[in-house]
Chain A
Amino acid sequence: AQSVSQHNHHVILSEAASLELGCNYSYGGTVNLFWYVQYPGQHLQLLLKYFSGDPLVKGIKGFEAEFIKSKFSFNLRKPSVQWSDTAEYFCAVNPLYNTDKLIFGTGTRLQVFP
């Protein structure tokens, strides 16, 4: 079945540590890829997105993600996390046969301690 997988359910880091959150999808066709962040008590915000072109995309707040087509992956990275990065992170896929429909991964809860 078509799905989006986030293998890291809960990640705990100290400030300044590097972050990588995994995201894999199982759609065979062309897709658009997204990472959303949900800070405590707030709504979803778009962190970054990949449509085409350079597979390394840069988003807000120092985040970046790399699309590796052969691995069906779109991992999120940040070289040095901050306490304010504590949030829930969701990977999402937009199968291009449906222009705006998003399929979400299960989410990764990131806790950053000072």
Chain B
Amino acid sequence: GAVVSQHPSRVICKSGTSVKIECRSLDFQATTMFWYRQFPKQSLMLMATSNEGSKATYEQGVEKDKFLINHASLTLSTLTVTSAHPEDSSFYICSARKYFGPGTRLLVL
């Protein structure tokens, strides 16, 4: 079946640095991918819709300059957390066609 992968699975970085997370659809093409954020013991919050060939669409309250999204190809979307702060520490999950990636756990020190 359809599979979505994410890389890295875990990342620890210093405050102020930028972190890039990749989301790939492995056996299908996706013109649209979605990025979610999940806080501990909470639900998934949709952050943005990644659109191949055009700008991402951000949900209300999500800073587009903070969370840069690039949908470089029909199988790859990247989320870059710029100038990361400890409050950005979270679990980031991408999806395509209602299939979810395994998530990336980000810890900002």
Chain B residue contacts of A90, Cβ below 8 A? 43-44
Of A43, A100, A105, A109, which is within 8 A of B98 by CB? Answer: A100
Judged by a CB distance under 8 angstroms, whether A63 is at the interface is: no
A56 and B106 CA atoms in complex are apart in Å by: 39
Interface residues on A, range: 20 to 34
A102 CB contact (under 8 Å) in B41, B95, B101: B95
Interface string of A84-111 (1 = CB under 8 A from B): 0000001000100011111111110100
Which secondary structure dominates where chain B touches chain A?
Answer: strand
| Distance A25 CA – B20 CA, assembled complex (angstroms) | 34
| In the complex, per-residue mask of A11-40: 1 if CB is within 8 Å of any chain B CB, else 0 | 000000000000000000000001010000
CB of B89 closer than 8 Å to a CB of A: no
For residue A102, give the distance in angstroms from its CB to the closest CB of chain B: 7
Contact assessment for B41 and A101 in the assembled complex, using a CB-CB cutoff below 8 Å: no
B41 adjacent to A103 (CB under 8 Å): no
A91 closest partner in B (C-beta): B43
Q: Is B67 an interface residue (CB 8 A)?
A: no
7 A-B pairs besides A101-B46, A103-B46 with CB distance below 8 A are A43-B102, A45-B100, A46-B98, A100-B97, A104-B43, A105-B43, A106-B42
Between-chain CB contacts (< 8 Å), 14 pairs:
A43-B101, A43-B102, A44-B100, A46-B98, A49-B98, A90-B43, A90-B44, A100-B96, A102-B46, A102-B95, A104-B36, A104-B44, A104-B46, A106-B43
User: Interface residues, chain A, CB within 8 Å of chain B?
Assistant: 34, 36, 42-46, 49, 90, 94, 98-107, 109
